[in-house]
């Protein structure tokens, strides 16, 4: 084994369900996440807002987020499990909508859909329902596409997704970007994180790790490790890692 590939990740809040949402704030976040995933709205008091807009308005960045949001990074939405259309629309791609709204707040250099799903994969939900394994890191990597021309002039990338669990999809995106020659820092920001410890403080910071050379889809091959302490770093790959990823 050649070591671990590590992808820094930040998640705004836990993936609350109707069972785990206890406080009124928990229930509001739970409704908001479901609405974000569906491209819907959320009602707060007498106001009805687009869920993605409400999230961007209510997530406060702090010092730990400087790695993920800064003037050099490009926000890149994670593609869904379905094939990405040629002309994707924000209203049908919540992660893309979040990217654009965050960019409008001045927290990034750009927001671009640089990754596309070229081949459809099973969603984790569908895989669970069928009693099957979720797509592996390598399946995700091979189902996505980008080009070196699209990546020209991009200094750093923050992938943006609605939910992160084991992290296979995000690690697949990371490997696809490296395979296409991108050598800048890559991080992941997600709206919610499923594998959290109840009662732990949000937002959550950790790393998605993956043993290099592994082609299996076991949950031990991708997962979030919450660090004991900072500082955060997202280092470009070494020469040896670049050769492996090429």
Q: Which residues pair with 207 in a beta bridge?
A: 8, 225
Work out the pLDDT band at 105, boundaries 50, 70, 90.
Answer: very high
CB within 8 Å of 220: residues ≥ 6 apart: none
- In 3D space, the residue among 145, 46, 35 whose CA is nearest the CA of residue 91 turns out to be 35
Query: How does pLDDT run across 113-135, given as a tens digit for each residue?
Result: 999 999 999 877 777 777 777 78
Query: How does pLDDT run across 51-75, given as a tens digit for each residue?
Result: 999 899 888 888 778 889 999 999 9
Tokens of 70: 């800064």
When divided into structural domains, the chain yields a total of 1
Place of tokens 């820092």: 185
Tokens of 146: 């980008």
User: In which domain, by residue range, is 228 found?
Assistant: 4-245
Around Cβ 131, how many Cβ atoms within 10 Å?
Answer: 6
**Count of H helices and E strands in the chain?**
8, 11
């Amino acid at each position: 084994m050649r070591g671990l590939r590590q992808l820094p990740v930040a998640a705004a809040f836990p993936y609350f369900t109707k069972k785990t949402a206890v406080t009124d704030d928990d229930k509001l976040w739970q409704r908001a996440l479901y609405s974000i995933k569906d491209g819907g709205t959320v009602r707060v008091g007498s106001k009805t807002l687009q869920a993605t807009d409400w999230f961007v308005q209510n997530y406060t960045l702090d010092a730990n987020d400087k790695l993920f949001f800064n003037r050099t990074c490009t926000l890149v939405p994670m593609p869904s499990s379905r094939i990405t259309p040629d002309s994707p629309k924000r209203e049908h791609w919540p992660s893309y909508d979040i990217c654009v709204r965050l960019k409008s707040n001045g927290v990034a250099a750009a927001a671009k859909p640089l990754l596309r799903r070229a081949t459809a994969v099973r969603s984790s939900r569908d895989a669970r329902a069928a009693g099957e394994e979720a797509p592996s890191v390598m399946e995700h990597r091979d189902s996505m596409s980008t080009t070196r021309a699209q990546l020209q002039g991009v200094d750093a990338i923050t992938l943006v997704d609605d939910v992160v669990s084991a992290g296979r999809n995000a690690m697949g995106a990371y490997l696809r970007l490296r395979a296409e020659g991108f050598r800048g820092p890559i991080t992941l920001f997600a709206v919610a994180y499923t594998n959290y410890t109840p009662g732990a403080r949000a937002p959550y910071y950790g790393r998605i790790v993956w043993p290099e050379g592994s082609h299996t889809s076991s949950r031990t091959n991708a997962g979030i490790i919450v660090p004991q302490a900072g500082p955060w770093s997202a280092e470009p790959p070494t020469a040896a890692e670049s050769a492996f990823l090429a």
